[in-house]
Amino acid sequence: MGCNTSSTRIENSQTSLRAVLIIQNWYRGYRARLKARKQYALTIFQSIEYADEQDQIQLCNFFSFMLENYTRIRKEEIGLNQLAENELDMRDKQDYVDLIDVPDSYKGPRLQFPLTCADIDLLLEAFKRKQILHARYVLEVLFETKKLLKQMPNFTQVQTSPSKEVTVCGDLHGKLDDLFLIFYKNGLPSGSNPYVFNGDFVDRGRNSIEVLMILCVSFLVYPNDLHLNRGNHEDYMMNLRYGFTKEILHKYKIHGKKILQTLEEFYTWLPIGTIIDNEILVVHGGISETTDLNLLHRVERNKMKSVLMPPREIYKDYNTDSKHSKVDVTISAHGRIKTKGFLSEHLPKHEREQVIDILWSDPRGKKGCFPNTGRGGGCYFGPDITSKILNKFQLKMIIRSHECKPEGYEICHGGKVVTIFSASNYYEEDSNRGAYVKLCSGTNPRFFQYQVTDATCFHPFHQRVSTMENSAIKILKERMISRKTDLIRAFLYQDRRKSGKLPVSKWAFCMETILGLNLPWRSLSSNLVIIDQNGNVDYMSSFRNIHIEKPVKEANSALVETLCRYRSDLEIIFNAIDTDHSGLISMEEFRAMWKLFSYHYNVHIDDSQVNKIASIMDLNRDGSIDFTEFLKAFYVVHKYETMMKPEATNLG
């Protein structure tokens, strides 16, 4: 009897162990699938982010002349309507600031110059309470910071010691809560707690001006212990697309234009890098095979207004029937429009390219140096290029930012390149951690990770992954619907039998050929299309449950898709010629700009279609249209968006 009992216990124990192993293996597989789904979602977010940056660079190659004109006009418009422009142009910084009154009713922080550490605390507490810093203080901080930056070299030198580590932070992108969390965990900047902030302080996030003000005030208090590097988003052209310009004009309706003008010059004086202990190079983007630090030490960095504005003169003729325009346009007697930009002070081409590589490049595992086709600017540099440049300039490591990493940091090229990214939840809640790195001579870098928590972070992991997937698929579908006509043409070309179906491989080939996003389309296909039991794709299901809203029936599909696809570009163009920020442009300006736009992008749409829609959108019949509302009218509708369950999408 005792033997039987013992045998039964052993069998039960073995059965329990097998059950535990089965459950453990299942759970590991389940977690692995969830992580794969999360990675697919991050890949979609990143691919579309880089494609947008590429679009921005391509746009600026053509419209640089207009943006130079926009800059000149902005400098003529100071923003105090009661004062004459010429008078203001003659005034210096202090005169202008003194003209701005801070009323007694203002309840926000009041800064006292020269600033002290108490002002840093004051600003932090005010921003935690959602208070807005008055425009007078914003401008004075920018003016004072710019004055100090002018005295800084292109690369600031930092020395560490066992009692004085330096903390390097990456992109913040207006994420104020991340900056609060960094200071909470790591301490405020001080003489014994130095920081390097490696660019991209602004854009995308809602609190870019608050982040920038905290960094600038800290820099003014501790100019030898807080270091600011320029990123690719410290660029007024990038701000037009990615939100900082809108944020400024929304928060500072009276003095916003002056703040933007001041920022434009402020950016040019930011150092382009930091060298720590004569062995660690800290730059925003990276390097190229031609990077010459000796040359970069000497360039006149303030001549680099915008990476996105090539230094060239543009002179073109286009047919138009317009009579008047705010841009620098001359109408000939023959009804042709002559647009002419003008050259401002720019860096020589080879120096300019050096700075672009520093701000825009990305490391890759492949050897060599080749164009950064993902972003459209800078290059991809391999481990051999890293070794070559480090050896040439007797350095040991490169610390850069510029790329969102799931864990907040990444080490590559045999430990010689570190990417540090400090904006957590960058794409979506729980999409990534943020991180910073602490450095001290003679010791290994120490990484610290964090994540700003929200109510959603307490949801189960599978639910958070599903929410992220839904957001990723949503923006990908919007990209697809904006190229619907081109995609259908590609599908029909591959579908020789006109069956309405294609093998997954051919469907994926069409998607990549038209959209160019370098995505794993086969893996994503189950979330984007209907696939039959034979593995064939119903390619028209690519556009199910989604369409672009037509504001007027007269709009044909090609025009609607074009306006949806290039909505961001067109908004930048219209903002550039809307010098008074009224949101209105004349019908003539609209037509003239459309001709320039369609010429550049080779858009084959009948002008009469555009004219007809513009006329309809002129609701008041006053010869002007609200271009913001015009562009918003062409929006993407997700038919079943409100019905989608968190578990509905599965990228695994």
Mean per-residue pLDDT, 500-520: 95
Q: Where in the chain is the domain with CATH 3.60.21.10?
A: 100-312+348-450
Distance of CA 476 to the CA centre of its chain: 17
Q: pLDDT (tens digit, 9 = 90+) per residue, 83-134?
A: 333 334 434 566 778 889 999 999 999 999 999 999 999 999 999 999 999 9
Contacts of 367 (CB under 8 A, 6+ apart): 382, 383, 384, 385
Residue 335: the pLDDT is 32
- 152 pLDDT higher than 80: yes
Residue 273 and residue 281: Cα distance in Å, rounded? 7
Q: CA angle 225-228-232, nearest 5°? A: 165
Q: Which residue has the higher pLDDT, 4 or 443?
A: 443
Residue 343: the pLDDT is 44
Q: Which of 134, 233, 284, 402 is catalytic?
A: 233
Most confident range (mean pLDDT) of 160-164, 178-182, 553-557 is 178-182
Residue 170: the pLDDT is 98
Mean per-residue pLDDT, 17-41: 85
Residue 54: the pLDDT is 79
- 265 pLDDT higher than 90: yes
The amino acid present at 271, given as its one-letter code, is P
CB 436 within 8 A of CB 169: yes
Residue 337: the pLDDT is 33
Give residue 266's pLDDT band: very low, low, confident or very high (50, 70, 90): very high
Residue 569: the pLDDT is 79
Give residue 146's pLDDT band: very low, low, confident or very high (50, 70, 90): very high
CATH of region 479-543: 1.10.238
Residue 219: the pLDDT is 98
Residue 276: the pLDDT is 98
Beta pairing, strands 546-548 & 584-586: unpaired
Percent of the chain with pLDDT over 90: 56
Q: What would the two tokens of residue 425 be?
A: 């939840």
Helix axes 461-481, 504-515, angle to 10 degrees: 70
Mean per-residue pLDDT, 463-489: 90
In the residue annotation, 334 being an active-site residue is answered as no
What does DSSP assign to residue 549? P
Q: pLDDT (tens digit, 9 = 90+) per residue, 70-90?
A: 344 334 433 333 333 333 443
Q: Where in the chain is the domain with CATH 1.10.238.10?
A: 557-643
Residue 365 and residue 378: Cα distance in Å, rounded? 16
Sign of CA pseudo-dihedral 76, 78, 84, 88: negative
CATH superfamily of 100-312+348-450: Metallo-dependent phosphatases (3.60.21.10)
- Which of 38-42, 56-60, 111-115, 382-386 comes out lowest in average pLDDT? 56-60
Residue 387: the pLDDT is 98
pTM: 0.82
- Tell me which of 1.10.238.10, 3.40.1280.10, 3.30.420.40, 3.40.190.10 is the CATH number of domain 557-643: 1.10.238.10
Residue 524 and residue 273: Cα distance in Å, rounded? 39
Show contacts of 507-514: CB within 8 Å, 24+ apart: 507/537, 507/539, 507/542, 510/539, 511/480, 511/487, 511/542, 514/483, 514/486, 514/487, 514/490
> How far is the CA of 232 from the CAs of 129, 229, 286, 631, in angstroms?
30, 10, 11, 27
Residue 395: the pLDDT is 98
Residue 64: the pLDDT is 54
Residue 223: the pLDDT is 97
Residue 587 and residue 324: Cα distance in Å, rounded? 10
* H or E segment to which residue 430 belongs: none
